[in-house]
Amino acid sequence: MQEAAHLHYSQLSDKKMNIASMGHRKFDHYVVLASFEIIFSYLRHLIVKSKKTPFYVFNLRNIELGKYLTSSALRDVDTNRSNFKFALAFHMSLIRSFFVFGAALRSEKSTEAISLGDVFYMDGIWIDFFLNKPGVTVFLTIHPYGTICIRDNFTNLTALRARLDIDRRRQPMANTAAIDQYMKNRLEDPEKAIFYYNAVASQFSVSAELRKLPNNAIIYAHSFTDSQMENGFDGFKSVYDWLVFTLDILEGNAGKTNIFLKAHPSFFSETNERDAEVLDRELWKLLESEIPKNVHIINSTVTNWEFLKQFDPESTVLISHHGNAVVEGAYLGFRSISSVASPWGTRYHFSSTWASRREYAKILGEWNHGSSMTPESHFGARKFISDVYLSESSSISSNSYLLNVISRHCGISVENLRLSPFSDPEVDNEARHNAVGELAAGIKDLS
List, run by run, the mean pLDDT of 10-residue segments along the chain (447 residues). Answer: 82 73 82 98 94 92 96 93 96 97 93 84 94 92 85 95 91 94 88 58 65 80 86 94 94 76 80 69 90 87 87 91 94 95 93 95 81 86 93 65 80 73 72 83 84
> How far is 423 from 390, CA to CA, in rounded Å?
29
Residue 359: CB partners within 8 Å, gap ≥ 6?
235
Strand locations in 224-329 (E): 257-262, 295-298, 316-319
What span, in angstroms and rounded, lies between the C-alpha atoms of 367 and 360? 10
Domains and CATH numbers, the chain: 2-169 (no CATH), 176-389 (3.40.50.2000)
Predicted pLDDT of residue 434: 84
pLDDT at residue 402, as a whole number: 75
**Contacts of 232 by beta carbon, 8 Å cutoff, 6+ apart:** 158, 340, 341
Instruction: Return the pLDDT at 255.
Output: 63
Q: Give the CA angle between residues 376, 381, 387 to the nearest 5°.
A: 120
Return the exposure string of 160-185: e unless at least 16 CB atoms fall within 10 Å of the residue's CB, then b: bbeebbeebeeeeebeeeebeebbee
Of the candidates 23, 9, 5, the residue with the CA atom closest to the CA atom of residue 107: 23
Q: What are phi and psi of 215, to 5 degrees?
A: -125, 135
In degrees, to the nearest 5, what angle opens at C-alpha 277 toward C-alphas 274 and 281? 140
pLDDT confidence of residue 96: 96
CA distance 102 to 35: 8
Q: Give the pLDDT confidence score for residue 372 in this predicted structure.
A: 72
Predicted structure pTM score: 0.89
Burial class of residue 153 (count of CB atoms within 10 Å of its CB; 0-12, 13-18, 19+): middle
Q: Which of 336, 269, 299 is nearest to 202 (CA)?
A: 299
Angle of helix 275-288 versus helix 239-252 axis, rounded to 10: 20
Distance CA 84, CA 169 (A): 42
Distance CA 281, CA 303 (A): 19
Cβ distance 116 to 100 under 8 Å?
A: no
- Separation in Å, CA 155 to CA 128, 139, 328, 435: 7, 16, 33, 32
For residue 32, what pLDDT is reported? 97
Amino acid 35: pLDDT: 98
Q: Residue 125: its pLDDT value, please?
A: 95
